[in-house]
Structure 1
Amino acid sequence: MSLAAVRPLAAEFPQAALKRLLWPALLLVTIVLVSLPTGALPTWMTKYPTAWQLPIDAQISAFMRWLMETASFGLFSVRDLTRAIAWTLDLPLAAAKAVLAGGVGYGRGADAVAIAPAIPWFSLLIAGVAGGYAVGGLRLAALMGGGLLYLAVFGQWPAAMVTLASVLVSSVLGAIGGLLVGLACVRWRWAERAVSPLLDLAQTMPVFAYLLPMLILFGFGPVSAMIATIVYAMPPMVRVTILAIRAVPEEIHALGAMTGCTRRQLTWKMLVPTALPALMVGVNQVIMLSLNVVIIASMIGAGGLGFDVLAALRRLDIGAGLEAGIAITVLAILLDRFAQALAVQAGRTPERDEGHRALRRKALWAAFAIAGALWVAAAIWPAIALYPDALKLSTAPWWSDLVRWINVNFFATLDAIRAWAFLNLLAPAKRFMLALPWVWVVAALGIAGFRLGGWRLALPVVLMALFVAVVGLWPTAMITVYLCGVAVLIAAAIGVPIGIAAATRPRLWRAVETVIDLLQTLPSFVYLIPIVMLFRVGDFTALIAIVLYAVAPAIRYAAHGVARVPQTLIEAGVMNGCTRRQILTRIRVPLALPEILLGVNQTIMLALSMLVITALVGTRDLGQETYSALAKADVGKGLVAGLCVAFIAIIADRLVAAGAARLKRRMGLAQ
């Protein structure tokens, strides 16, 4: 080999070697810094100086006081404006609650005059079955009937109808708002650039953090809870709208131009109808996220099933809490399946058999007529509208007795498990994170960001990490990272192998999918009730709840990634004599690694959202800061702590996503 050919290789070798050694070097420096004796580093490096902190929380609180007490638009104040908005939004919410739960009437208190009762359980059951059959056939009709009957039989009907009213109104407003914002982002690129960071914050900031601003702006009650729910649930609709409208074939645009459509006609008569099946996926996400917030929103007056779960958690009534939580899960499944069926129907070619379509329409209207007639009968004889108490069932005593039996017979074992996990896993990890110098953590995050995505990734990562230090919440944030990190590692260690094993076994996957669907639809608060009764309050209880709540995406993404490996590569491995284990370890898993990383990313997001809720069981992290701020009505403290949680989530999301994208490019999988 000539000298001219050797020189480029010699120049590239140190650079390639340095790139490979970067991550081990970062890990080695981290271990060395943690191992240094106390006082070996300057104090300002290990503890962010108080003099450098900025009172951002106090400034936010002062601004909110000024906004609500002083700010005005001349003829009316900001308080008048927000209360007018609250009154306007209360109209559809009150109407929905009147129809589903409270009855139609006018007046309040002793002056109230009832016009008609709320729709009785049997009328809604008939209408739900008929609607399910019209949209999704016999299977969906049976599911709707069974789910609604469960709510009546187990005594959850009144609270479920309050929750349903809130979710329906929140979902409609969230879907419409998300659609309009998404269309604006498609039309104007600057709008997308402005909205994108706000969507990231809305999806990653704990709901606790903006419950208090909503409470101050719009007053205590279900309207504030509904607005908080809309803020939390709308971002997926915005993102789905952007993707769906941009995915409309160019031929549709050309057809609109050829037929002389205006911009408005092109949007509403061609683009939106064409993208409707994809848009219904966004509506489905809005519904599910709205249901996910019902318990938290009950803290500021939402009521319904969420309030029942929260009340059961406060008095540690496992039976009542599980029944109310399962009722929320049933409601979520019914709405999810109905929305999915609507999405499928929106993309389906209309039936050519006009006679069959007419027959189905007549059957549907007949069912609605019967439901309406029974509603009128219930207005005349109110006693028939109530589900008989003698026919109601309850599993609450059974669940309470089961937990009590476990505590009596296995208390010593459970306490030993809790003590071992705390002493050998949680306490060392906590000490490690608290011992890290904040300067090094910020620098290491910047280096990782630069390595994975250049300055465009490194700079925001560093700024977000510095924000946590500047507001004086660095130690609390490290406790958050420690507990979330341990939970994510355990969830990934459990979920990834299960996903890999189930990916090539359809029967096993069906069983696993049923379990993780239940885990994802069960309200997050419900996890806490039995775990607290078994292990008491503390970090270990929070760890179990977080792992149960966050393990689903690790399983789902691992299975999806392994199942998507091209069959041609599998056949090539078989032709080369690879065993089943070799195909799995050398072909399937390596090629699925980017998808697995994305699953870990989603696990981190869910772990952080659950970590905030575990503040109710005694953790001392940013979730506790947010929750205590809500209890003390300290809006500045709550928003700052919520922003810190959001920034931790965004940092993890950006770094993991950049790592997954880089891995895809190296494997030649990027499109």
Structure 2
Amino acid sequence: MTDQIRLPKSAPRPQIAMLLIGLAAVLVLTRAALPEGLIRPPDWLILPFADWVNTVFTFLRDDLGLMALTRAFAGMVEWLLDVTANILYGKSRWPRLGPLPWSVVAITMAALGAWLGGWRLAVLAGGTFTWIAVMGQWQWAMETLSVIAVAAPFSIVTGLLLGIAAWRFRLVARVLDPVLNIAQSLPHFAYMIPVVVFIGVGPKAGAIVTIIFSVPPMIRMTALGLAKVPDEVVEAGRMGGATPFQLLRKVRLPTARTEILVGVNQVIMQCLAMVVLASFIGMPGLGQKLLQLLQALKIGLSVEIGITIVLIAVVLDRLTRAWAMRQPQHHAGGLRWWQRHPVLLAWALAVVLAFALAQIFPILAQVPRREALSIAAPIDLVMDQVIRLVDPLTTWLRWFLITWVLIPLRDAIQFLPFSAILLAVAAAGWAIGGWRSALVVGGFIALIAVSGWWDRAMITVYMVGFSVCLAALIGFPLGIWAARGEARAQRMLLICDTLQTFPSFIYLIPVVMLFGVNDVAVVMAVVTFAAVPLIRYTTLGLRGVAPELIEAAQMSGATRRQLLWQVQLPMALPVMMVGVNQSVMFSLFMVIIAAFIGTQDLGQELQRALSASDVGKGMVLGLAVAFLGLAVDHLIRSWSRNRAA
């Protein structure tokens, strides 16, 4: 009887989805006869979101006096930036201790690497800072790191406190969850525009936008870590007479240490990514230099800067990961101080020696630009030869993609009536999650329609859609190949983890070298960036299939191909879909970032809004990008939940 009651509720879902698809097809086929209001959102339907946002910001800035508060905070941040700048590269500010000799910084990073991860990490960390010095990039790198040194602690503390509040109070969690979903879906430029309006441009604006951008992962990881603390551990603390505050400080937070430190890792990597991109709002350092070199098409020097940014990213990632995995050490009783802390003692002696030698040999304090090494000329020579060799292929590929793929795809998606696209999206939602999902994803797309940026959004959709499909053709086969052996899988995962540490700006360097400044370069950058999560999660999903299932299939006589298609891929599909989800989000971010070398999509308009300090336009465009990502995220998550059920 129960089954008879439930069937009518679930049975119509495919039929309703097919009906919506049919209606969408009818609208496409009868486009010529449709009224203009069904082809493009009519003017009366466009809501002045940008004006509303600007009104709110004007009220906050002028009437509510928020400008005074933000300027006071900016003043404090600027003072801290002056401190770190003085210590790291000698800016003439208090405490007038700097600049530290590069050799001292390199020794310090090597000692930190040795303490956290052993000699290999010590060589990587010390070698990276030695490279920065001898390549004459010390001041640019220190300008970048001085901002991270200020922004990361702010983000970590803020995220930790908000994460504790979200774990402790359900209402806070309910409020923060949708805010974090949107915040982690907004493109980088959407964060910059309001900061420019309230703060201005320069290092302090770069630091503040970096703080705001990097807080969300710390909140999520703190709340997750505290929620995973076993009840038995907490009960043991209570039985020991601990107060609620003592339980939090001495029991819950130490138990959640690994998750919290993973959050610290994500914060630092987000800080580096944003500091590099903050060059668009006057943030000096490696990002600004790379932007200038890319715009001038100076490939050799761009590669030099790119290598430095990549090395810094890898070092920061490896150090914070090692910190997260490192367990507290307990020394045997009776050991002397130098026996308990040999690395600290070696570091102190090496630093004293380095300071002394830097007074005798100034090159150990600072490498002048005229004496710095450079690999730009050899790189330019090699790249000239490579470009000449592959030029016939890249020229043909550029022509083919633009003429026969990109332009037809763009025209096709812009030909479709917006009403048909709305129905098709709602049909996908209904087929996957019922009427609620149809309303959610349809609502996201409808908000884009009434924002007034439909055509630009569709250009973004076609760029992202095509790029993700190309990335899938690369990522899935590579992931399947990597999953065939444990050693091969570990090597591939290491490569993917390393590639995911690179700031997205770095992916523009090779494509600009090969394809110049055009839409094809954007697509190739997006494909490269988006393929990484597909490879990673395909490998993880296939390696995670239970060995018993594989053995049972082999015993039943399944061939290698049958085993892959009928057992491994179906079981790994939920994990692979996580990769698809991340690939779409990565593609959206990269398309927006790469807009300065091509495309006429939402990213180009976002950069114009940033140049004009138009908060309303920037926020609306940023939310349009976020809604595209959230719609895909909702569909994939709903599919995963339904499949698990």
> 1:105-140 deviations in whole A, cap 9, x for unaligned?
44xxxxxxx943311111112222222212222222
Q: Distance in 1 between matches of 2:550 and 2:334?
A: 47
For 1:297, give the aligned amino acid: A
* Match runs of 1:75-224 below 5 Å: 77-102=65-90, 105-106=93-94, 115-224=96-205
TM-score of the superposition, structure 1-length normalised?
0.90
Conservation of the 8 A alpha-carbon contact between 2:530 and 2:586: yes
Cα distance change on mapping 1:89 and 1:558 into 2, 3 Å: same
> 1:310-359 deviations in whole A, cap 9, x for unaligned?
111111111111211211111111111111111122x3563547649842
Give how far 1:252 is off. 2.2
Alignment equivalent of 2:34, drawn from 36, 41, 53: 41
Conservation of the 8 A alpha-carbon contact between 1:312 and 1:318: yes
Structure possessing the higher relative contact order (Cα contacts under 8 Å, 6 or more residues apart) = 2
Conservation of the 8 A alpha-carbon contact between 1:276 and 1:343: yes
Give how far 1:14 is off. 12
Give how far 1:39 is off. 2.3
> 1:356-397 deviations in whole A, cap 9, x for unaligned?
984251441342243145336646875641236686432222
> 1:273-298 deviations in whole A, cap 9, x for unaligned?
11112211111011111111122112
For 2:121, give the aligned amino acid: L
Alignment equivalent of 1:548, drawn from 514, 520, 528: 528
SS across alignment from 1:254: helix
Structure 2 residues not aligned, in runs of 5+: none
Conservation of the 8 A alpha-carbon contact between 1:553 and 1:602: yes
Conservation of the 8 A alpha-carbon contact between 2:103 and 2:364: no
SS across alignment from 1:204: coil
TM-score of the superposition, structure 2-length normalised?
0.93
For 1:42, give the aligned amino acid: P
Percent identity (aligned): 37
Conservation of the 8 A alpha-carbon contact between 1:214 and 1:227: yes
- Pick which of 333-342 and 292-301 moved more: 292-301
Count of residues in correspondence between the two structures = 645
Conservation of the 8 A alpha-carbon contact between 1:325 and 1:523: no
> 1:142-186 deviations in whole A, cap 9, x for unaligned?
222222222223222221122122122222211111111000001
* Match runs of 1:255-654 below 5 Å: 255-345=236-326, 347=327, 350-352=330-332, 355=335, 358-372=338-352, 374-375=354-355, 378=358, 384-387=364-367, 392-654=372-634
Conservation of the 8 A alpha-carbon contact between 2:113 and 2:125: yes
Conservation of the 8 A alpha-carbon contact between 2:21 and 2:423: no
Conservation of the 8 A alpha-carbon contact between 1:126 and 1:368: no
Cα distance change on mapping 1:485 and 1:594 into 2, 3 Å: same
Give how far 1:628 is off. 0.9
Alignment equivalent of 1:53, drawn from 46, 49, 57: 46
Q: Distance in 1 between matches of 2:399 and 2:4?
A: 58
Quote the residue 1:109 is aligned against. Answer: none
- Pick which of 525-534 and 589-598 moved more: 525-534
Q: Distance in 2 between matches of 1:194 and 1:231?
A: 17
For 1:531, give the aligned amino acid: V
Cα distance change on mapping 1:483 and 1:250 into 2, 3 Å: same
Q: Distance in 2 between matches of 1:511 and 1:186?
A: 36
Q: Distance in 2 between matches of 1:93 and 1:273?
A: 31
Quote the residue 2:63 is aligned against. Answer: 71
Conservation of the 8 A alpha-carbon contact between 1:333 and 1:521: yes
Give how far 1:583 is off. 1.4
- Pick which of 445-454 and 41-50 moved more: 445-454
Give how far 1:42 is off. 1.9
Q: Distance in 2 between matches of 1:514 and 1:259?
A: 43
For 1:292, give the aligned amino acid: A
> 1:505-550 deviations in whole A, cap 9, x for unaligned?
2343344345434432333223223423432333222110100111
* Match runs of 1:19-34 below 5 Å: 19=13, 30-34=24-28
Conservation of the 8 A alpha-carbon contact between 2:221 and 2:263: yes
Structure 1 residues not aligned, in runs of 5+: 107-113, 666-671
Q: Distance in 2 between matches of 1:383 and 1:15?
A: 75
Give how far 1:456 is off. 4.2
Give how far 1:500 is off. 1.3
For 1:442, give the aligned amino acid: L
Q: Distance in 1 between matches of 2:4 and 2:228?
A: 44
Q: Distance in 2 between matches of 1:133 and 1:529?
A: 32
Cα distance change on mapping 1:190 and 1:363 into 2, 3 Å: closer
Give RMSD over aligned pairs: 2.7
For 1:71, give the aligned amino acid: D
Conservation of the 8 A alpha-carbon contact between 1:403 and 1:530: no
- Pick which of 81-90 and 531-540 moved more: 531-540
Quote the residue 1:110 is aligned against. Answer: none
Alignment equivalent of 1:236, drawn from 206, 217, 220: 217
